Amino acid sequence: MNIRESVRLAVSSLNTNKLRSLLTLLGIIIGIMAVIIIMTLGRALENDVMGGLEDAGTTTYPVMIHERAEEGESSDDPFAGFSLAPPSDERDGMTIDDLNELAAAFHGRVQGVDIDTSSDGEAALDDTTASVSVNPVLAASLDIRSLNVQYGRGISQDMIDSQRPVAVVSPELVEALFGGDATSALGSRFDVEVNGNTSVFTIVGVLEETGDSPAFGQSAFAQIYIPITSAERVGMEVDWVPSFSVRSAANEDPEVFRSDLQSYLDRKYAGNEDYEAEVFDISASLEGLTTIFRTLSTVLSAIGGISLLVGGIGVMNIMLITVTERTREIGVRKALGATQSDIRVQFIVEAMLVCLIGGIIGVILGGAVGLIASSAVLEMTWPPLSAVLFSLLFSLATGVFFGAYPASKAAKMQPIDALRYE
């Protein structure tokens, strides 16, 4: 008997017992669906978080000032520094003058320095108001954050030096205060209030739309970017920071630049017994996050695979029942010359076909649910090809494994006993 004939007989058997076949498929379908959905959502989350980090660029080096680690607490963990307390005093942090000195010391080797500080506030134009996030920035901040000015201009060093009350705003603010008309927004003056402190700012630039709203990326909340020296106008004190970022020149060797930057900061904090400045390696962070996400997806997929295992047990149970029901058929076939191998192949192929059909349906349904769920929570993500191939191969393997015993039982039947079976 060839494989084609075995498949034909398997299809005929499944068609004869439609309800039983459907219930047998259900366990396989649910198991494969669970695996595909988990892998799709895991990939969507990974893409969102990793994309946000990659947008910062591998030439951007975050620096965090934190407590010195106790003796023997050093670790290769790239995230270890986040668990240590930041400074609470200007003497231990980096002042704006310190940041300017750093940029001057690396003149020609850096594109700029950025700080990450903001306050919630309110913007008002006549009787229209909008909740905003007010971000004091340096001259290179917008470029480092990959924020592009679509209308007008960005924050320049001259604006910072002259403490001008100007602002670059996001499209969300333009929509809220100016009905989406960016040309009308340029040059307009509006009120900015933070914690009861109000000042008037002039819009000099409007950012282009990001086109998405990732869970861990740029917020869709209205944003205002003002010169750091103008922050005092709304009561924001940005005299020093516990963390900042440095973007190197494009031609800088990453390892050399990071080492030189760390050495510079080590010298600056050599006399500080309580705090130190650490340059974080984004590449190591990316690798660490990738490992975490893949491990998490694997663990969750393994949990989903438990339902697939249960489905496989159901397949074996049904195949045993099928063998019992078709005992006389097996006896007739053996009497007509079918070998043990022919009988074994027939029932293994039938089990594999059941699992393969269930796997295909599970991949289709799981992929559809994964697409919908990922687009609703993050952004639409296709199921990973590796997950699809793994699911289908695992389905076939399940059919072989759980179909082997019923097939072996059928193959070992004696023709005379099978023909006498009632």
The full DSSP string for 286-347 is HHHHHHHHHHHHHHHHHHHHHHHHHHHHHHHHHHHHHHHHTHHHHHHHHHTT--HHHHHHHH
Q: Please say whether the beta carbons of 217 and 50 come within 8 A.
A: no
What is the C-alpha separation between 99 and 105, in angstroms, rounded? 10
Q: What is the DSSP string of 373-402?
A: HHHHHS---PPPHHHHHHHHHHHHHHHHHH
Give the tokens for residue 22: 């459907």
Q: What is the per-residue pLDDT across 277-330, written as a single tens digit (0 to 9) for each?
A: 998 876 666 666 677 777 777 777 677 667 777 777 777 777 777 777 667 676
Query: Which pLDDT belongs to residue 277?
Result: 92
Residue 173: is its pLDDT beyond 90?
yes
Dihedral sign from CA coordinates of 369, 373, 375, 376 = positive
Q: Which two tokens stand for residue 328?
A: 């006389």
pLDDT band at 76 (very low <50, low <70, confident <90, very high): low
The larger pLDDT score, comparing residue 372 to residue 282, is at: 372
- 156 vs 153: CA distance, rounded Å: 8
90 or 323, higher pLDDT: 90
Residue, of 324 and 79, whose pLDDT is higher: 324
Identify the band that residue 213 occupies on the pLDDT scale cut at 50, 70 and 90: very low
358 or 153, which is more confident: 153
Going across the sheet that includes 275-279, the strands are 110-115, 243-248, 60-67, 275-279
**pLDDT band, very low/low/confident/very high, at 216 (cuts 50, 70, 90):** very low
Share the mean pLDDT of the chain.
81
Percent of the chain with pLDDT over 70: 80
| Residue 422 confidence (pLDDT) | 52
Q: In this predicted structure, which of 235-244, 316-325, 371-380 has the lowest mean pLDDT?
A: 316-325
Q: What is the pLDDT of residues 253-280, one digit of tens each?
A: 888 998 999 999 999 999 898 899 998 8
Alpha carbons within 13 A on the beta-carbon side of 236: 25
Residue 70 predicted with pLDDT over 80: no
Over residues 64-71, the mean pLDDT reads 82
For residue 206, the cross-strand partners are: 151, 169
- Per-residue DSSP letters for 158-201? HHHHTT--EEEE-HHHHHHHHTT-HHHHTT-EEEEEETTEEEEE
Q: Which band of pLDDT confidence, cut at 50, 70 and 90, is reported for residue 10?
A: low
One-letter amino acid for residue 179 of the chain: G
pLDDT of 119 > 80? The answer is yes
Q: In this structure, are strands 94-95 and 128-137 parallel, antiparallel, or unpaired?
A: unpaired
Q: What span, in angstroms and rounded, lies between the C-alpha atoms of 309 and 218?
A: 41
